[in-house]
Structure 1
């Protein structure tokens, strides 16, 4: 009996040891997984934070806002109508009414147009407007369509002549796919007109005036 009890008592502690060992193993395994999972989670969070910081520093993924160009309106220039009216007066003095009348009428027309017509260069297009309130000029009386042409449609343009500009010419594909030519008298500041045309439409392909 005693030997049976001793053998039973000897068996119980060994069983407790095994249970304790298994418990410690399970506990260490459980906490080890928790620690490793927490470490991996913290590592992922830190990596994500570093990625966000790097992206914010270098602007990765950030949309770049396009800077809108300011509207430019060249100032009126009365030199051409004044020259034409002076020429007409000289022809009248020389008793050459046949030439004086049409030249004088052209000078008067350009004088009125200089006071009311404006070239408006906005962010994306050149538009012809009229009046102090810059009202729309309606359809083009010669080729039809609105008097507004996007810079992207310009094929070529020229300004004659640099020291005393008389005409501005440009060709665009907005009115007609094959290209539409336009001529306008330079009743605006020639230098301002040239500078804004170069900036918005690019340099002339053929005979752009040299800077004087």
Structure 2
């Protein structure tokens, strides 16, 4: 069976599925740390909960011309590909951070979206040189 999102997406919008891996790993890692250092554990757990909430609320949509960030049904930010200079997904074995640079700014996003589909969409809409 063919993955419908892997078909030519240059003329359609693709919404990335959420990935709960990083938030769950952080929350899980905080549990045994409570025995060693409660404040470190609490900080890691709070960050994990924050990312979990963001994973539930935020969506990335790749359109033919832009990367759009939505909170629910509300568009909160649009990043036109024509302003992009570079992108990178850090740590290939387990992708944890997505970086892209625009003409006037840089952006870092934790990988709280399907990393495989993120790479496919990036390569289709803004291929690396």
Q: Same fold (TM over 0.5)?
A: yes
Partner of 1:46: none
Partner of 1:20: none
Query: Structure 1 unaligned runs (5+)?
Result: 1-67, 138-146, 206-212
> Are residue 135 (structure 1) and residue 74 (structure 2) matched?
yes
Structure-to-structure mapping, 1:1-212, within 5 angstroms: 69-92=11-34, 94-131=35-72, 134-137=73-76, 147-173=77-103, 176=104, 180-203=105-128
Scaled by the length of structure 2, the TM-score of the pair is: 0.88
Question: How many residues in Structure 1 have an aligned counterpart in Structure 2?
Answer: 120
SS at match of 2:15: coil
- Per the TM alignment, residue 74 of structure 1 is displaced from its structure 2 partner at its CA by 1.1
- Per the TM alignment, residue 163 of structure 1 is displaced from its structure 2 partner at its CA by 2.3
- Relative contact order: is structure 1 or structure 2 higher (C-alpha 8 Å, sep ≥ 6)? 2
List, as ranges, runs of 4+ consecutive aligned residues in structure 1 with deviation greater than 6 Å. Answer: none
> In structure 1, how many angstroms separate the alpha carbons of the residues matched to 2:67 and 2:75?
12
> In structure 1, how many angstroms separate the alpha carbons of the residues matched to 2:114 and 2:47?
19
Relative to its length, the structure with more helix (as a share) is: 1
- Per the TM alignment, residue 202 of structure 1 is displaced from its structure 2 partner at its CA by 1.1
> In structure 2, how many angstroms separate the alpha carbons of the residues matched to 1:124 and 1:187?
22
> In structure 1, how many angstroms separate the alpha carbons of the residues matched to 2:127 and 2:97?
18
> In structure 2, how many angstroms separate the alpha carbons of the residues matched to 1:149 and 1:84?
29
Larger Rg: 1
After superposition, the C-alpha distances for 1:44-88 in whole angstroms (9 at most, x for unaligned) are xxxxxxxxxxxxxxxxxxxxxxxx611011110000000000111
> In structure 2, how many angstroms separate the alpha carbons of the residues matched to 1:171 and 1:112?
25
- Per the TM alignment, residue 95 of structure 1 is displaced from its structure 2 partner at its CA by 3.7
Q: What's the RMSD between the two structures over aligned residues?
A: 1.2
SS at match of 1:148: strand
